[in-house]
Structure 1
Amino acid sequence: MSTRLAAVTRPFRATGLPPRRLAVALAGLVGVEALLLLAWLWVSPGDVTAPRYLLYPFVWIDASLLAAALVLGDARGRQESAGGRPGAVAVLVGVGYAVLLLWAGGLIGRGGGSGALTLLTAPPGWGPIILYDGAVRLAVVPFKLIGYLVLAWLVALVVGAAGRPLVSGALGLVTCVGCTGPLILALVAALGGGSVTAYAAVSDLSYDLSTVVFLVSLVGVTWSVLRSRH
C-alpha cells in the first residue's frame, strides 16, 4: 500500500512542492482569482443572473495549470527535460489537434479581411477578449486558449510516448462547446420532436456540459501521460 501511495503522490512531490505546500499555492491562486472577480463585480454594472458562468473559466484555468504542474513535476522527478520532448510526429499531431480545438471552440475561423482589431472587456477568465478579423479570424478568450493549449500539449506527450495519435486525440475531441454543443442540441431536439423549449434548455447548459467533459478529458490525458512513464 505504501508503494502505491508513493507512486500516486510522486508527481505532486516532484513539482518541488509537498502536497501541503501545493495546496497552499492553489489556495493562493484561488484567492487571487476571487479578488479579481470581486473587483470586477464591484465596478461592473448589471446583475449576475448565472453566477456559475463566472466560475467556470477559473475551473478550466486552475485544472489546466495543475495538470501541467503534475506532468512537468513528474518529468523533473525523472530528470526529463520539458516534460519529455515529443518527436516530430507527436508535435505535428499536437499542433493539428490544437488547431482543431481552437476552430471547434470558435477561437479561429475564416476572416473577413477587414484587419480590425478589437479589445472587449469581460469577467476575469472570460476576458479581456481580443478579436482580430484578417485573412483569419482570431478570438483570444483566456480560459479557452489556456485549456485547449494545455490539452493539446498533453495529447502530444501521449502520442510521443505511446505512438497512438488516433486514440490519444479521441480523449479530448469533445472538450469544447463547439464540439459537444451542436451534437447534444441536435440530439435533444430530435428526442423532443424538435421542441424549441428542449433545445433552449440544453443550450443553457452547454457550458456546464462542456466543463464536465473538459475536466474528464483533462484528467484522462494527464493520467495517460503519467502512466506512459511508468
Structure 2
Amino acid sequence: MFDAATRRFRALDDAGQRTLVYTVATANSLVLLSLLYAYFTDSAPTTYWAFPIIWLTAAAWAVLRTDPAPAERRTKLLAGAIAGGYFLVLGFVGGLFGPATGPVTGLTVQFTQLPPGWNPAILYGGGTVQFAIVPFTAIGYAVLSYLVYATAIEAESAVAGGVLGLFSCVSCTLPVVASVLSGIVGGGAALAAAASAQTYALGTVVYVITVGLLVYRPGLVWLRRRL
C-alpha cells in the first residue's frame, strides 16, 4: 500500500505534489493542536472538534489548487466586486454578522473556552448589530469568495457576458445554499446554542462539496461545450 501511494505521489506534477504535502501538513497541524488542547485542558474530544479541521483542510487545499487566470483590470475589478458581495451574503446568512437580536453584551474575545478552529472567537452584541467571528467559518467563507473571484474571471473569458455565465453555473451559486443549510446562527448564540452535531455535519458536507465544485467548475466546462 505504501509503495502504491509513493508511486501515485511521484506521478503528480510539482504543483500537485506541493498541494498534497501542504494540505496534509495543514490537517496534521490542526489535529495536533486539537490533541494538545485536549491534553492541557483535560477535555474529551467530541464531534464538534472535527468540523474546523475539515473546513480548514478543505480551504487550504482549495487555495493551493486555485490560481486565478490572468485578466484585464476591468475584469479583476468586476470579479472582486462579485466576490466581495458574495462574502457579505455568506457572512450574513451564515451568522458572522447581522442585526442585533439579543441582549447587549459588548465585545468579548474567547481564547480557551473552545477547541482550535472555534477559538479564538470574537463576539460582539450591540444594540444595532452583532457579530460572531468564528475562525473556521470566517476563513471558510473567505475561501469560497476567493474561489468565486477565480470563477468570475474564468467565466468572463469563457462566456459572453461573464456575469450571466457565472450565475448560470450551479457550482457558483451553491455556496449561498450551503451557508443556509449549515444552520450556524449569529451573535453569541453561535457559541452558546445547543445546535445538533447533525446540523453542523450537514453544513460541513455541503461546504466540502461546494469547495470541490468551485475548484473544478463543472458548470463552466459545460457552458464552454455548449457555446
With normalisation by structure 1, the TM-score equals 0.68
Checking the alignment, whether the CA contact within 8 Å between 2:19 and 2:65 is kept in structure 1 is no
> Does 1:131 pair with 2:99?
no
What's the offset of the Cα at 1:160? 2.7
Cα distance in 2 for partners of 1:110, 1:150 equals 24
**Partner residue, 1:100:** 89
Q: How many residues align?
A: 186
Partner of residue 40 from structure 1, selected from 37, 40, 54: 37
Checking the alignment, whether the CA contact within 8 Å between 2:37 and 2:115 is kept in structure 1 is yes
**Partner residue, 1:209:** 202
Checking the alignment, whether the CA contact within 8 Å between 2:47 and 2:197 is kept in structure 1 is no
> Does 1:27 pair with 2:63?
no
What's the offset of the Cα at 1:52? 2.7
**Partner residue, 1:171:** 174
Q: Deviations over 1:68-117 (max 9, x none)?
A: 11112xx5xx7x48xx9953332222111111111111111114795822
**Partner residue, 1:148:** 141
Structure-2 change in CA distance of 1:156 and 1:24 (3 Å): closer
**Partner residue, 2:158:** none
Checking the alignment, whether the CA contact within 8 Å between 1:113 and 1:136 is kept in structure 2 is no
Alignment map for 1:46-195 (pairs within 5 Å):
46-48=43-45, 51-72=46-67, 80=70, 86-111=75-100, 116-120=106-110, 121=112, 122-134=114-126, 135-162=128-155, 163=162, 164-168=165-169, 169-176=172-179, 179-180=180-181
Q: Letter of the aligned partner of 2:174 in structure 1?
A: L
Cα distance in 2 for partners of 1:102, 1:203 equals 21
Segment of structure 1 superposing worse, 105-114 or 57-66: 105-114
Q: Which ranges in structure 2 are unaligned for 5 or more consecutive residues?
A: 1-8, 156-161, 184-194
Checking the alignment, whether the CA contact within 8 Å between 2:83 and 2:149 is kept in structure 1 is yes
Structure-2 change in CA distance of 1:117 and 1:27 (3 Å): same
What's the offset of the Cα at 1:227? 6.3
With normalisation by structure 2, the TM-score equals 0.69
What's the offset of the Cα at 1:225? 8.7
Structure-2 change in CA distance of 1:143 and 1:94 (3 Å): same
What is the RMSD of the two structures over their aligned residues, measured on CA atoms?
3.2
Cα distance in 2 for partners of 1:181, 1:147 equals 12
- Partner SS, residue 116 of structure 2: coil
Cα distance in 2 for partners of 1:66, 1:58 equals 12
Q: Which ranges in structure 1 are unaligned for 5 or more consecutive residues?
A: 1-8, 183-201
Cα distance in 2 for partners of 1:55, 1:131 equals 22
Cα distance in 2 for partners of 1:207, 1:160 equals 31
